[in-house]
Amino acid sequence: MFKWKYRGIYPPHNKNTQCSVVRRLPTPFEVHIPMQMHSGKAAVPAVKPGDKVMMGQLIGEMGGVVSSPIHSSVSGTVKRINDRDSVTGQKAVSITIESDDQQTLCPDIKKPSVRSLQDFYDAVRDSGAVGLGGAGYPAAPKLAIKNLDELDYILINGAECEPYVTADTNTMVADALHVYVGVKLLLEFMRPKKICICIEDNKVEAIKVMQETFAYDDNVDVCVLPTMYPQGERKVLVHNITGRIVPAGARLADVGVIVTNVTTIAVFARYIRNGLPLIKKVVTVDGPVVGNPSNVLAPIGTPIRELFDFCGGFTTEGPRKIIMGGPMMGYAVPSLDMPVVKTTNCLLAYPESSTFHPPATACIKCGRCLSVCPMRLMPPNIETAFSQSNLDALNHYNVNMCVECGSCAYICPSKRPLVQAIQLSKERLWLFKQEQKAAEEARAAADTKGVNR
Amino acid sequence: MSEFEQGRNLTVSVSPHIRAKITTSRIMLDVLIALVPAFIASIIIFGTRAALVTCVCVASCVIFEWLFEKITKRPNTIGDYSACITGVLLAFNLPVTIPLWQAVFGSAVAIILVKQLFGGLGKNFANPAITARIVMFLAFSVSMTNWSSPYEGTSMWIYPIDGVAGATPLALMKNGNFDALPGILQMFLGVRGGCLGETSNLALLIGGIYLMIRKVITWHAPLTFIVVVFGFSALLGQDPVYHLFAGGLFIGAIFMATDYVTTPQTNKGRLIFGIGAGIFTVIFRIYSSYPEGVSFAILLMNILTPYINKFTEAKPLGSVKK
């Protein structure tokens, strides 16, 4: 069929929570809901301190075209609206709501009527769905592509290649209904030639359920992929399933493909079915020092401390590093007061002993990073170019194509901080481009001034 | 840790938060383990002086590395075992009768001149052991070609033909002295004249297979190197089997042409490296005044490695031509 060529790494799976039943977290005392849980423009608060809000009520309006509405995950009173730290280290406006423990559902919640493609896009937008694989790109602008008639594939990403995380697996197993509804909606309104549900072969239960669910649908395939990291990276997935290569700088839609996370489609399917927007999220709570690893259904905005407490607290060794997201691409968070956000799929706690980073030694040019890079970049060359501040070389080695999957840094025997160098390189290139732009604008302004005189 | 303290002092770092277990020193240790069969074979074939020469080389390499880093105030890197490997490989490229001070001199050339002056591990452009061997070959040409063995007991017991003393098979071939050539099995087992680690092809092969199983090396460079030497020498009308087993091809192909630092990083580049080294080896062996050419060929390809790397640069998935 296609030329299958895999490049990646094989970290231990650690899918300890794969068979665990989702447990519902008791309503937290208060939630902190940031207005920036997606990429694009931040949402604008639609409530004031002192307002009474109900569960599912709109509290953040879209701040632009590429943005997402935000809904209250509890019923109660808005206590304050202030800047709080986010996991990426930036400050973000955040609404703190004190729960009244009633969880009264907002009366505005009703099933949207979806009759046309535009209705569908509007419903996806209003559901608050964003890319739940981690990137958080709002779902509506992602699906609303210009060349809809050239759309061949919609890939439903259930690969979940990160170790530990089982949130998407859980969606496929326990929420197969909404996956089915979501796929049906996509088929009905977007009319792709094929929808592929992509699952790695270590998620046996999910594969079985999905195959049974879609047994009668000829244009829906359940594609079983070898377990490899980063199998779920979108360009890798497109290449491995369709054989198509996405050119640098192009969108996936340019090659006739859309990739969307499986939980994302379940979110808007639920909204279209009963009007409930994205206010709760299944989070895998795991890690060597977590007492009772499990999957937890938590209201968005819950401080992560409550999730750990709910999962049996920490063992005696205690946590030294808390990661939001998987161990390969997740963010290490500075405090347990960070809230669960829309894109949170996993919380990990590591003890002191596994936090130690061995000092980087000299690159021995073993070429392991080259052989695992899914994008076939050359990390050591990028690192050298970065240390020499050689921007031309950074461009030459296509540093902007890096997806920061971390495979190179994982495999490096010299433990070199390759991802760090790449992230800083990207930022430096970006700053350089900004400077250039500013200089050009200044020159243009000076020129017009000259003419006016 | 008390309940109150839990979750304080959290470490924040860049992803990925997990790392593979593999380390530089573990890789180097694997190479050392892979050299053990050849070390044992050298003692069986050439006697205990083989062990003495090896130990002197290893010790002097490690001491030179430590001293140089002490003087230049660089971080101490003797813990990564790379100096040990250089020592062992250098010793394996010397005749067993080498005066020990000359072995120490060779170690100094390898570690200080070739490795540390270029910036230490990862920065040297040529293989330290190979380059040191060539320097010694030019400096001490008499003692470097003295193949007489002081010890023939065990080897006589294994293979009752006096093949250890006297010239190497390649030198015999060069001089047209075909009658004195040892048999093929004898050469494969390594009971013949030559450098102390290069003769036992069997032991080297075992080491090579171990390294491939441990995924320390890939097959690309060694296999193409060996195949090209075999094919090219046959093409030039020579006995290819002798060219395989008679010289330092196996130690060169398995342990020198796979040295990470001085050979290409991509598999494509490694294929080119193997082919080039094979061609140059045969040319040097047949047309130069020296009977052996593996070390010269590898040194030459080491010099070409940056160009091979440039030539075989990975093409990113979906990169746009600029």
The domains of chain A are located at: 28-101+108-279, 368-448
pLDDT for the residue B161: 45
Give yes or no: residues B139 and B218 share one domain. Answer: no
pLDDT for the residue A166: 93
Could you list the beta-strand ranges (E) of A37-138.
Answer: 44-45, 52-53, 58-61, 70-71, 76-85, 91-99
In percent, the amount of chain A with pLDDT more than 70 equals 98
Range with top average pLDDT, A142-151, B1-10, B211-220: B211-220
Query: In Å, how far is B81's CA from the nearest CA of chain A?
Result: 13
As beta bridge partners, residue A91 has A85
Give yes or no: residues B176 and B298 share one domain. Answer: yes
Give yes or no: residues B132 and B171 share one domain. Answer: no
Find the distance separating the first CA and the last CA of chain A, reported in whole Å. 68
Average pLDDT over residues B110-134: 93
Average pLDDT over residues B135-144: 90
Interchain CB distance below 8 Å, B18 and A331: no
Give the residue carrying structure tokens 């591990």: B121
How many Cβ pairs within 8 Å bridge chains A and B?
163
Joined together, the tokens standing for residue B205 give: 């092969």
Joined together, the tokens standing for residue A312 give: 């049996």
Joined together, the tokens standing for residue A89 give: 């280290």
pTM of the model: 0.89
Q: For residues A402 and A377, give the distance between their C-alpha atoms in angstroms, rounded to a whole number.
A: 7
- pLDDT for residue B162 is more than 70: no
pLDDT for the residue B1: 42
pLDDT for the residue B144: 87
Q: How many CB atoms lie within 10 A of CB A201?
A: 12
Give phi and psi for B28, each to the nearest 5.
Answer: -65, -40
Give yes or no: residues B90 and B170 share one domain. Answer: no
Confidence of residue B169 (pLDDT cuts 50, 70, 90): confident
Confidence of residue A173 (pLDDT cuts 50, 70, 90): very high
Give yes or no: residues B218 and B96 share one domain. Answer: no
Interface test with B, best of A376, A396, A424 (most B CBs within 10 A): A376
Interchain CB distance below 8 Å, A374 and B317: yes
Q: For residues A124 and A120, give the distance between their C-alpha atoms in angstroms, rounded to a whole number.
A: 6
- Which strands form A52-53's sheet, in the order they lie side by side? A30-34, A91-99, A76-85, A52-53
Give yes or no: residues B118 and B240 share one domain. Answer: no
Chain A CB contacts of B26 under 8 Å are: 413
pLDDT for the residue B60: 96
Average pLDDT over residues A342-361: 87
As beta bridge partners, residue A196 has A155, A221
Average pLDDT, chain A: 90
Give yes or no: residues B130 and B213 share one domain. Answer: no
Architecture of domain A28-101+108-279: 3-Layer(aba) Sandwich (3.40)
Average pLDDT over residues B81-96: 94
- Please write the tens of the pLDDT for every residue from A385-428: 999 999 999 999 989 999 999 999 999 999 999 999 999 999 99
- pLDDT for residue A2 is more than 90: no
pLDDT for the residue A386: 94
Where in the sequence is the domain holding B229, given as residue range(s)? 163-311
Average pLDDT over residues A189-204: 92
Length of chain A: 453
pLDDT for the residue A4: 45
Average pLDDT over residues A289-308: 92
Give yes or no: residues B302 and B254 share one domain. Answer: yes
Q: How many CB atoms lie within 10 A of CB A39?
A: 15
Confidence of residue B166 (pLDDT cuts 50, 70, 90): low
Q: What is the DSSP string of A89-153?
A: S-EEEEEEEEE-S--PBPTT--PPP--SHHHHHHHHHHTT-B-TTTT--BHHHHH--S-GGG--E
Give yes or no: residues B304 and B170 share one domain. Answer: yes
Interchain CB distance below 8 Å, A357 and B13: yes
pLDDT for the residue A243: 86
In percent, the amount of chain B with pLDDT more than 90 equals 55
- Compare B156 and B114 and report the one with higher pLDDT: B114
- Please write the tens of the pLDDT for every residue from B272-314: 999 999 999 999 998 988 888 899 999 999 999 999 999 988 7
Average pLDDT over residues A267-288: 92
Give yes or no: residues B172 and B95 share one domain. Answer: no
Q: What is the DSSP string of A247-274?
A: PTT--GGGGTEEEEEHHHHHHHHHHHHH
Confidence of residue A185 (pLDDT cuts 50, 70, 90): very high
- pLDDT for residue A321 is more than 80: yes
Confidence of residue B320 (pLDDT cuts 50, 70, 90): low
pLDDT for the residue B15: 85
Interface test with A, best of B4, B19, B118, B262 (most A CBs within 10 A): B19
Whether the complex's predicted ipTM surpasses the cut of 0.90? no
pLDDT for the residue B3: 45
Confidence of residue B149 (pLDDT cuts 50, 70, 90): low
Confidence of residue A277 (pLDDT cuts 50, 70, 90): very high
- pLDDT for residue B6 is more than 60: no
The domain tally of chain B equals 2
- Please write the tens of the pLDDT for every residue from B45-73: 888 888 999 999 999 999 999 999 999 99
Interface test with B, best of A5, A328, A398 (most B CBs within 10 A): A398
Give yes or no: residues B177 and B301 share one domain. Answer: yes
- pLDDT for residue B157 is more than 60: no
Confidence of residue A352 (pLDDT cuts 50, 70, 90): confident
pLDDT for the residue A328: 93
Strand, coil or helix: what is A59? Answer: strand
Chain B CB contacts of A420 under 8 Å are: 14
Q: How many CB atoms lie within 10 A of CB B21?
A: 6
Q: Which of A17, A40, A312 is closest to A167 using CA atoms?
A: A17
C-alpha dihedral, A285 to A290 to A294 to A297, nearest 10°: -40
Confidence of residue A17 (pLDDT cuts 50, 70, 90): confident
- Range in A319-328, A351-360, B161-170 the model is least confident about: B161-170
Give yes or no: residues B202 and B252 share one domain. Answer: yes
Q: For residues B290 and B292, give the distance between their C-alpha atoms in angstroms, rounded to a whole number.
A: 6
